[in-house]
Amino acid sequence: MPELPEVETTLRAIKKFQRQQLIEIKVNNRNLRWKVAKSIEIDTKNQRILNLKRRAKYIIFELESLSLLLHLGMSGSLRIAKRDENYFLKHDHIEFIFENEKIIYNDPRRFGSLHITRDINNHNLIRFLGPEPLSKSFNNKYLFNLCTNSKTNIKTLLMNQKNVVGIGNIYASEALFLSKINPVKQSNKLTIEECKRLTASSKKILNSAIKCGGTTLKDFYSADGNAGYFKIKLNVYGREGLDCSKCNSKIKKVTVNNRATFYCSQCQS
């Protein structure tokens, strides 16, 4: 599934379309996670893109009189092609046509979505989201305050999008390992020092994944449109039964809130 770093890399790859005029949108299949509005073609015709940005895992196209909200779902990806290119792939659902090029949205599993809205900040998918993990608002005091009032385990708290956005299952396990915190530790038992380590590790791991993404940008333009998953070094995720990289005990796997969770019981308490 595309996580925050993959979405950020995707955004950077299409950033050059900012200020360009969106000539038209072509929808080949409206049946995404939510049905694409029938008015989208008419409402977006010949509008300039004022801004292209990311919020959580949404890519936002700010047009002159409205905004588009794109989510890549489980298997969505974008690729750039020449405007007159006639080569299509199965599952190419939407085309954003510009003067010389087009952006094609491909999504085999169709869990992605495209919404149109005149009030982006109050959109139901946006308004309840917590702060961005890479912003200054996500800091030790903020996290400690959330933890103090919560009896849920820290991994579940970290993955709740109302608390902070974009920390998916892999990154949560890895950030907790770097912070030496057990994923099932009750949130209100965390110290401010642990919250400091956890916010710093979360930022560190997301930033290194985004940095790796920069090197895969070339793939983004390839015909198959497959951005691939970033090759960051995983210390615990998917490593059940293997040696911990810091001590010599074995990595354990447990299920937390229905999600596979990996940790080292020696290093994390």
Residues near Zn ion (CB under 5 A): 244, 246-247, 264, 266-267
The answer for 163, left when phi > 0, alpha when psi is -120 to 50, beta otherwise, is: alpha
Q: Is 3 noted as a catalytic residue in this protein? A: yes
DSSP for residue 161: T
Shorter beta-carbon distance to Zn ion: residue 68 or 178:
178
Shortest Cβ 243–Zn ion spacing (Å) = 8
Q: How far apart are CA 93 and CA 114, in angstroms?
A: 11
The answer to whether the CB of 147 falls within 8 A of the CB of 195 is yes
Shortest Cβ 238–Zn ion spacing (Å) = 16
Q: How far is CA 235 from CA 77, 120, 202, 251, 252, in A?
A: 27, 38, 14, 9, 12
Q: Is 162 noted as a catalytic residue in this protein? A: no
Shorter beta-carbon distance to Zn ion: residue 171 or 263:
263
203, 196, 183: which is closest to 251 by C-alpha?
183
Shorter beta-carbon distance to Zn ion: residue 67 or 268:
268
Shorter beta-carbon distance to Zn ion: residue 85 or 243:
243
Q: How far apart are CA 186 and CA 268, in angstroms?
A: 13
Q: Is 133 noted as a catalytic residue in this protein? A: no
Catalytic residue among 55, 57, 79, 197: 57
The residue with its CB nearest to Zn ion is 244
As to burial, measured by CB atoms within 10 angstroms (0-12 exposed, 13-18 middle, 19+ buried), residue 131 is: middle
Shortest Cβ 269–Zn ion spacing (Å) = 11
Shortest Cβ 209–Zn ion spacing (Å) = 22
Shorter beta-carbon distance to Zn ion: residue 30 or 246:
246
Task: Tell me the angle at which helices 192-215 and 4-14 cross, rounded to the nearest 10 degrees.
Answer: 40
Catalytic residue among 12, 33, 189, 259: 259
Report the 10 Å Cβ neighbour count for 85. 13
Shortest Cβ 173–Zn ion spacing (Å) = 13
Catalytic residue among 2, 5, 133, 183: 2
Q: Which residues are catalytic, by number?
A: 2-3, 57, 259
